[in-house]
Amino acid sequence: MRIVHSDDLATALAEARIAVEAGEVVCLPTDTVYGIGADPFSYDAVSALLAAKSRTRAMPPPVLVAGIEQAETLVAKFPDSARDLMNAFWPGALTIILPARESLGWDLGETFGTVGLRMPDDDVTLAFLEQVGPLAVTSANKTGQMPATTICQAVDQLGQAVSVYVDHGQSPGGVPSTIVRWNGDDDTYEILRQGAITLHQLSSVVRVKGEA
């Protein structure tokens, strides 16, 4: 386990990349709290990610992407409405659940053929995603405990379960991402978790299930 600082960004990202490519878990900043990430295409890496979190496969992690182009490579159906949401709220605190592309051959847990996608508004993690590709990510804390907003808090909770911690100072914290799921039958979106993006903001772009 080692801590690297984003002041020397090239070195920090290189250390983290080596760990991810080895199937290990890394800790990265996001625009809300610190997250832990792993290679979504590696069953063992995803298992290590869930084990670090003390989470079962019944709660699969979302996937962080560097932008819309990366997102498009992961989904079986990419409706115009999803692109509209991404253009409106990415990078930012919106997770969009869409049908996953079967040819990916990954196993994130009990996803029922879907994938949750988010583009975080954090320069360090976006630079990393551009280098290594999509990452399976969840908040940096043990299940049931408060998410870490500093590297010290992350280390206290996760310890040796994470190989590389990238320290980018105090994270913003605040409200988590809003999670929406696309319904292909009528091209509407269901809010699964109300977070930073409000119903009013969403409904200005797409049709939201249950909306009057």
> What is the mean pLDDT of the segment spanning 14-41?
95
Beta bridge partners of 136: 38, 63
Amino acid at 40: P
Q: Which pLDDT score, from 0 to 100, does residue 110 have? A: 82
Rg (CA), the chain: 16
Residue 68 CB burial class (10 angstroms; 0-12, 13-18, ≥19)? middle
> Cβ atoms within 10 A of the Cβ of 87, count?
10
Give the integer Cα–Cα distance in Å for 119 and 37. Answer: 14
Give the integer Cα–Cα distance in Å for 49 and 208. Answer: 32
> Cβ atoms within 10 A of the Cβ of 41, count?
15
| Weakest-pLDDT range from 10-14, 110-114, 145-149, 165-169 | 110-114
Give the Cα-Cα-Cα angle 203, 76, 110 (nearest 5 degrees): 85
Q: Which pLDDT score, from 0 to 100, does residue 90 have? A: 97
Q: Which pLDDT score, from 0 to 100, does residue 104 have? A: 82
Q: Give percent above pLDDT 70 in the chain.
A: 99
| Torsion sign, CA atoms 98, 71, 145, 17 | positive
Give yes or no for a contact between 6 and 124, defined as CB atoms under 8 angstroms apart: yes
3-class DSSP state of 116 = strand
pLDDT higher than threshold 60 for residue 212 = no
Q: In this predicted model, what pLDDT tens digit does every residue of 56-76 receive, in sequence order? A: 888 889 999 999 999 999 999
Q: Which pLDDT score, from 0 to 100, does residue 69 have? A: 96
Strand 26-28 relative to strand 94-99: parallel, antiparallel, unpaired? unpaired
Across all residues in the chain, what is the average pLDDT? 93
Q: Which pLDDT score, from 0 to 100, does residue 174 have? A: 75
> What is the mean pLDDT of the segment spanning 180-209?
94
| 199 or 105, which is more confident | 199
3-class DSSP state of 70 = helix
Q: Which pLDDT score, from 0 to 100, does residue 125 have? A: 95
Q: Which pLDDT score, from 0 to 100, does residue 103 have? A: 84
Q: Which pLDDT score, from 0 to 100, does residue 172 have? A: 87
Q: Which pLDDT score, from 0 to 100, does residue 154 have? A: 96
Q: Which pLDDT score, from 0 to 100, does residue 211 have? A: 63
pLDDT higher than threshold 80 for residue 105 = no
